[in-house]
Protein backbone atom coordinates (compact mmCIF):
# COMPACT_ATOMS: atom_id res chain seq x y z
CA UNK A 1 0.00 0.00 0.00
CA UNK A 2 1.41 3.34 -0.98
CA UNK A 3 -0.55 5.61 1.32
CA UNK A 4 0.98 9.07 1.45
CA UNK A 5 2.79 9.97 4.68
CA UNK A 6 1.15 13.41 4.54
CA UNK A 7 -2.51 13.13 3.69
CA UNK A 8 -3.05 15.43 0.74
CA UNK A 9 -6.82 14.89 0.51
CA UNK A 10 -9.49 16.80 2.40
CA UNK B 1 -6.17 16.73 -8.26
CA UNK B 2 -8.61 15.04 -10.66
CA UNK B 3 -12.12 15.75 -11.86
CA UNK B 4 -13.72 13.31 -9.43
CA UNK B 5 -12.02 14.85 -6.42
CA UNK B 6 -12.76 18.37 -7.65
CA UNK B 7 -16.49 17.69 -8.00
CA UNK B 8 -16.46 15.73 -4.74
CA UNK B 9 -14.95 18.60 -2.76
CA UNK B 10 -17.39 21.00 -4.39
CA UNK B 11 -20.29 18.70 -3.48
CA UNK B 12 -19.05 18.48 0.10
CA UNK B 13 -18.73 22.26 0.33
CA UNK B 14 -22.20 22.64 -1.20
CA UNK B 15 -23.67 20.29 1.42
CA UNK B 16 -22.09 22.24 4.26
CA UNK B 17 -23.27 25.58 2.84
CA UNK B 18 -26.80 24.28 2.08
CA UNK B 19 -27.25 23.15 5.67
CA UNK B 20 -25.79 26.29 7.24
CA UNK B 21 -27.90 28.47 4.92
CA UNK B 22 -31.08 26.47 5.61
CA UNK B 23 -30.72 26.81 9.37
CA UNK B 24 -29.76 30.48 9.15
CA UNK B 25 -32.55 31.47 6.72
CA UNK B 26 -35.34 29.44 8.32
CA UNK B 27 -33.94 30.27 11.78
CA UNK B 28 -34.75 26.68 12.62
CA UNK B 29 -32.88 23.37 12.89
CA UNK B 30 -36.03 21.22 12.88
CA UNK B 31 -35.29 17.81 11.45
CA UNK B 32 -31.55 18.29 11.75
CA UNK B 33 -29.54 15.95 13.96
CA UNK B 34 -27.29 18.07 16.15
CA UNK B 35 -25.41 14.91 17.10
CA UNK B 36 -24.34 14.28 13.52
CA UNK B 37 -23.18 17.88 13.24
CA UNK B 38 -21.11 17.53 16.42
CA UNK B 39 -19.57 14.35 14.99
CA UNK B 40 -18.70 16.21 11.77
CA UNK B 41 -17.09 19.00 13.78
CA UNK B 42 -15.00 16.35 15.57
CA UNK B 43 -14.17 14.73 12.20
CA UNK B 44 -12.83 17.99 10.80
CA UNK B 45 -11.01 18.97 13.99
CA UNK B 46 -9.16 15.66 14.33
CA UNK B 47 -8.44 15.39 10.60
CA UNK B 48 -7.22 18.93 9.98
CA UNK B 49 -4.80 19.34 12.88
CA UNK B 50 -2.14 19.14 10.17
CA UNK B 51 -3.11 22.74 9.41
CA UNK B 52 -0.69 23.51 12.22
CA UNK B 53 2.10 21.27 10.98
CA UNK B 54 2.17 21.09 7.17
CA UNK B 55 1.17 23.23 4.20
CA UNK B 56 0.01 21.36 1.09
CA UNK B 57 -1.63 24.08 -1.03
CA UNK B 58 -3.71 27.22 -0.71
CA UNK B 59 -6.72 25.22 -1.88
CA UNK B 60 -6.13 22.52 0.74
CA UNK B 61 -5.64 24.98 3.57
CA UNK B 62 -8.53 27.28 2.65
CA UNK B 63 -11.01 24.41 2.24
CA UNK B 64 -10.00 22.98 5.61
CA UNK B 65 -10.53 26.34 7.29
CA UNK B 66 -13.92 26.72 5.58
CA UNK B 67 -15.03 23.21 6.57
CA UNK B 68 -13.98 23.66 10.19
CA UNK B 69 -15.51 27.11 10.58
CA UNK B 70 -18.81 26.16 8.89
CA UNK B 71 -19.17 22.98 10.95
CA UNK B 72 -18.63 24.84 14.22
CA UNK B 73 -20.99 27.61 13.06
CA UNK B 74 -23.64 24.95 12.35
CA UNK B 75 -23.21 23.36 15.78
CA UNK B 76 -23.43 26.82 17.33
CA UNK B 77 -26.68 27.61 15.50
CA UNK B 78 -28.22 24.28 16.53
CA UNK B 79 -27.24 24.21 20.18
CA UNK B 80 -27.07 27.90 20.99
CA UNK B 81 -28.78 30.40 18.70
CA UNK B 82 -31.74 28.29 17.56
CA UNK B 83 -31.68 25.87 20.46
CA UNK B 84 -35.46 26.28 20.92
CA UNK B 85 -36.06 24.64 17.52
CA UNK B 86 -33.74 21.69 18.17
CA UNK B 87 -35.74 18.45 18.18
CA UNK B 88 -33.82 16.60 20.89
CA UNK B 89 -36.51 13.95 21.37
CA UNK B 90 -35.99 12.54 17.88
CA UNK B 91 -32.22 13.10 17.89
CA UNK B 92 -31.71 10.19 20.24
CA UNK B 93 -28.99 8.08 18.58
CA UNK B 94 -26.45 6.84 21.16
CA UNK B 95 -23.29 8.34 19.62
CA UNK B 96 -21.09 6.72 22.27
CA UNK B 97 -21.79 3.45 20.43
CA UNK B 98 -20.03 5.05 17.45
CA UNK B 99 -17.24 7.05 19.04
CA UNK B 100 -15.89 4.34 21.37
CA UNK B 101 -15.55 1.49 18.81
CA UNK B 102 -14.21 3.93 16.20
CA UNK B 103 -11.67 5.23 18.71
CA UNK B 104 -10.58 1.70 19.57
CA UNK B 105 -10.31 0.73 15.90
CA UNK B 106 -8.22 3.82 15.14
CA UNK B 107 -5.71 2.79 17.80
CA UNK B 108 -5.58 -0.79 16.50
CA UNK B 109 -5.64 -0.27 12.73
CA UNK B 110 -3.68 2.69 11.39
CA UNK B 111 -0.79 3.50 9.08
CA UNK B 112 1.48 4.80 11.84
CA UNK B 113 1.19 4.72 15.62
CA UNK B 114 1.70 8.48 15.97
CA UNK B 115 -0.75 10.87 17.58
CA UNK B 116 -1.60 12.90 14.45
CA UNK B 117 -1.93 9.75 12.35
CA UNK B 118 -4.17 8.03 14.90
CA UNK B 119 -6.34 11.15 15.08
CA UNK B 120 -6.50 11.24 11.27
CA UNK B 121 -7.50 7.54 11.24
CA UNK B 122 -10.09 8.18 13.96
CA UNK B 123 -11.48 11.01 11.83
CA UNK B 124 -11.71 8.78 8.73
CA UNK B 125 -13.49 6.00 10.63
CA UNK B 126 -15.79 8.45 12.44
CA UNK B 127 -16.79 10.21 9.24
CA UNK B 128 -17.98 6.93 7.76
CA UNK B 129 -20.65 6.60 10.49
CA UNK B 130 -21.20 10.26 11.44
CA UNK B 131 -24.39 10.52 9.37
CA UNK B 132 -26.11 7.67 11.27
CA UNK B 133 -27.73 9.92 13.90
CA UNK B 134 -29.20 12.05 11.09
CA UNK B 135 -30.52 9.02 9.15
CA UNK B 136 -31.82 7.57 12.42
CA UNK B 137 -33.65 10.83 13.19
CA UNK B 138 -35.30 10.83 9.75
CA UNK B 139 -36.42 7.23 10.31
CA UNK B 140 -37.92 8.27 13.65
CA UNK B 141 -39.71 11.38 12.37
CA UNK B 142 -40.65 9.50 9.20
CA UNK B 143 -39.93 12.47 6.96
CA UNK B 144 -37.34 15.08 5.96
CA UNK B 145 -37.60 18.59 4.54
CA UNK B 146 -36.68 18.68 0.87
CA UNK B 147 -33.74 21.02 1.51
CA UNK B 148 -32.43 18.51 4.06
CA UNK B 149 -32.57 15.76 1.44
CA UNK B 150 -30.52 17.91 -0.95
CA UNK B 151 -27.98 18.39 1.85
CA UNK B 152 -27.81 14.64 2.41
CA UNK B 153 -27.55 13.91 -1.31
CA UNK B 154 -24.55 16.24 -1.72
CA UNK B 155 -22.96 14.81 1.39
CA UNK B 156 -23.39 11.23 0.20
CA UNK B 157 -22.29 12.08 -3.34
CA UNK B 158 -19.01 13.60 -2.12
CA UNK B 159 -17.64 10.39 -0.64
CA UNK B 160 -19.05 8.29 -3.51
CA UNK B 161 -17.05 10.48 -5.90
CA UNK B 162 -13.98 10.04 -3.69
CA UNK B 163 -14.22 6.31 -4.45
CA UNK B 164 -13.80 7.15 -8.14
CA UNK B 165 -10.99 9.55 -7.19
CA UNK B 166 -9.16 6.65 -5.49
CA UNK B 167 -9.64 4.43 -8.54
CA UNK B 168 -8.24 7.24 -10.68
CA UNK B 169 -5.29 7.82 -8.33
CA UNK B 170 -4.50 4.10 -8.10
CA UNK B 171 -4.51 3.78 -11.87
CA UNK B 172 -2.62 6.97 -12.70
CA UNK B 173 -0.51 7.62 -9.58
CA UNK B 174 -0.25 4.25 -7.88
CA UNK B 175 -1.71 5.98 -4.81
CA UNK B 176 -3.58 3.62 -2.54
CA UNK B 177 -4.89 4.16 1.00
CA UNK B 178 -6.82 1.11 2.20
CA UNK B 179 -8.07 2.82 5.38
CA UNK B 180 -9.65 5.71 3.48
CA UNK B 181 -11.04 3.40 0.79
CA UNK B 182 -12.70 0.91 3.17
CA UNK B 183 -14.15 3.69 5.31
CA UNK B 184 -15.33 5.52 2.19
CA UNK B 185 -17.06 2.36 0.96
CA UNK B 186 -18.83 1.89 4.30
CA UNK B 187 -19.83 5.56 4.32
CA UNK B 188 -21.27 5.39 0.80
CA UNK B 189 -23.12 2.12 1.46
CA UNK B 190 -24.85 3.74 4.43
CA UNK B 191 -26.35 6.30 2.02
CA UNK B 192 -27.67 3.73 -0.48
CA UNK B 193 -31.09 3.50 1.15
CA UNK B 194 -31.34 7.30 1.19
CA UNK B 195 -30.07 7.61 -2.41
CA UNK B 196 -32.85 5.25 -3.52
CA UNK B 197 -35.51 7.32 -1.75
CA UNK B 198 -33.98 10.57 -3.02
CA UNK B 199 -34.00 9.44 -6.66
CA UNK B 200 -37.43 7.77 -6.59
CA UNK B 201 -39.19 10.43 -4.52
CA UNK B 202 -37.50 13.80 -4.15
CA UNK B 203 -36.34 14.01 -7.78
CA UNK B 204 -39.94 13.29 -8.78
CA UNK B 205 -41.10 16.28 -6.76
CA UNK B 206 -42.51 14.27 -3.91
CA UNK B 207 -41.70 14.83 -0.25
CA UNK B 208 -39.39 12.31 1.36
CA UNK B 209 -41.57 10.45 3.82
CA UNK B 210 -40.80 7.00 5.11
CA UNK B 211 -43.59 4.53 5.72
CA UNK B 212 -44.28 5.47 9.33
**Are the beta carbons of A6 and B60 separated by less than 8 Å?**
no
Backbone dihedral angles phi then psi of residue B200, each to the nearest 5 degrees: -80, -20
Q: Which residue of B has its CA nearest to A6?
A: B54
Distances (CA, A) of B79 to B32, B70, B87, B107, B183: 11, 14, 10, 30, 29
pLDDT at B211: 75
Q: Which of B3, B4, B41 is nearest to B160 (CA)?
A: B4
- pLDDT at B97 exceeding the cut of 80: yes
| Whether the predicted pLDDT of A4 surpasses 80 | no
In angstroms, the Cα distances linking B76 to B17, B72, B94, B113 are 15, 6, 21, 33
CA distance B38 to B78: 10
* Interface contact B60-A7, CB threshold 8 A: no
Listed in sequence order, the residues at least 6 apart from B110 whose beta carbon sits closer than 8 Å to its beta carbon are B117, B118, B121, B179
CA distances from B96 to B4, B15, B129, B130, B149 (A): 33, 25, 12, 11, 25
CA B120 – CA B111 distance, rounded (Å): 10
Do residue B180 and residue A2 have CB atoms under 8 angstroms apart? no
Residue of B nearest to A9 (CA): B60
Query: By the 8 A CB rule, do B61 and A8 touch?
Result: no
Question: How many angstroms away from the CA of B28 is the closest CA of chain A?
Answer: 29
What was the pLDDT predicted at B157?
98
- Determine the pLDDT at residue B77: 98
Tell whether the model's pLDDT for residue B204 goes beyond 80. Answer: yes
Distance CA B85, CA B49 (A): 32
pLDDT score at A5: 66
pLDDT of residue A6: 83
CB under 8 Å to B12, separation ≥6 — which residues?
Answer: A10, B67, B154, B155, B158
ipTM field = 0.89
Beta-carbon separation of B179 and A3 below 8 A: yes
Which residues of A fall within a CB distance of 8 Å from B54? 6
Going by pLDDT thresholds of 50, 70 and 90, the confidence category of residue A1 is very low
What sections of chain B are H helices per DSSP? 3-26, 34-47, 58-76, 96-108, 115-129, 132-141, 146-173, 178-200
Which chain A residue shows the shortest CA-CA distance from B56? A8
**How many angstroms from the chain centroid is the CA of residue B82?**
21
Amino acid sequence: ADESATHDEL
Amino acid sequence: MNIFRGIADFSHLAAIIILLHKIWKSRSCAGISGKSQILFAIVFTTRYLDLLTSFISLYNTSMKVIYISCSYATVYLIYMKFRATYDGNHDSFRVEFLVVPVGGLAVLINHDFALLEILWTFSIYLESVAILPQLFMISKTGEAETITTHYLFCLGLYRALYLFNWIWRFYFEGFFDMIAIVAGLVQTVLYCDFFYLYVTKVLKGKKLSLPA
